Amino acid sequence: KQEVTQIPAALSVPEGENLVLNCSFTDSAIYNLQWFRQDPGKGLTSLLLIQSSQREQTSGRLNASLDKSSGRSTLYIAASQPGDSATYLCALRTSGSRLTFGEGTQLTVNP
Amino acid sequence: KAGVTQTPRYLIKTRGQQVTLSCSPISGHRSVSWYQQTPGQGLQFLFEYFSETQRNKGNFPGRFSGRQFSNSRSEMNVSTLELGDSALYLCASRFLGLAGLNTGELFFGEGSRLTVL
């Protein structure tokens, strides 16, 4: 059974800092890994998708990496802004549309 | 291009009642899946439909059911509601097609917030 762990559970940083969110998983037999953002009371916004055969993906200030051999993914956020405050979730797709989610990292960026 | 649309956004029910939630996927997406999000259990997969057939099912009791229509719109139903069914129910859609165009990315709606009293 796939288990996904995200560390840290919560993170508070001053504006402008670069930061790294971590995601670890137990089963490397995945189709892809997706990073999402969730604002309070809202749905999930897809940030980055990394296919199983890829090592990293970049979108603007975001960079995500995937290392299947070690069961790890990281989301790097450069030059953080208060608008980046949200919960960040990583999810692994193992079959069809079945995603296994981590518990999330709650990020607060202080002005 | 419109995103995934879920209705209603909020609803309140009492124990024992039933509820039906609706999801319209992104145009052209044929796969619709449902997830339950609670503070205690996080996000959990309920089921997936495409071509009007359930393709995958999570570990939920039979009170949770769904269906998909020929236009890919989907509904999920929860019967005999329990307090523990209070949750945010999220719908996601995925494009199914030529391998080169099918990235496997899921797109989520804003969710339906169910409160059971």
Chain A residue with CA closest to B113: the answer is: A41
CB < 8 Å to A103, chain B = 42
Could you give the CA distance from residue A22 to residue A7 in angstroms, rounded to a whole number? Answer: 5
Residues facing residue A46 across a β-bridge:
A36
Mutate to test the interface with B, among A3, A34, A97, A106 (most CBs of B within 10 A): A97
Percent of chain A with pLDDT over 70: 100
Cβ neighbors of B46 (< 8 A, separation 6 or more) are B33, B34, B35, B36, B57, B58, B60, B64, B66, B76, B89
Could you give the CA distance from residue A12 to residue A107 in angstroms, rounded to a whole number? Answer: 6
Contact A101 B42 (CB under 8 A): yes
Could you give the CA distance from residue B57 to residue B45 in angstroms, rounded to a whole number? Answer: 8
Chain B residue with CA closest to A104: the answer is: B42
pLDDT tens column, B21-79: 999 999 999 999 999 999 989 999 999 999 999 999 999 999 999 999 999 999 999 99
Contact B43 A89 (CB under 8 A): yes
User: Is the Cβ–Cβ distance between A97 and B31 less than 8 Å?
Assistant: yes
User: What's the pLDDT score for residue A96?
Assistant: 82
Count of A-B CB contacts under 8 Å:
66
**pLDDT exceeds 70 at position B99:** no
Percent of chain A with pLDDT over 90: 89
Give the residue-averaged pLDDT of B80-106. Answer: 87
User: What's the pLDDT score for residue B102?
Assistant: 66
Contact B105 A34 (CB under 8 A): yes
User: Is the Cβ–Cβ distance between A21 and A106 less than 8 Å?
Assistant: no
DSSP labels for A62-107? EEEEEETTTTEEEEEE-S--GGG-EEEEEEEEEETTEEEE---EEE
Q: Does B31 touch chain A (CB under 8 A)?
A: yes
User: What's the pLDDT score for residue A4?
Assistant: 96
Under DSSP, the state recorded for A41 is T
pLDDT tens column, A35-87: 999 999 899 999 999 999 999 999 999 999 999 999 999 999 999 999 999 99
Would you say how long chain A is, in residues?
A: 111
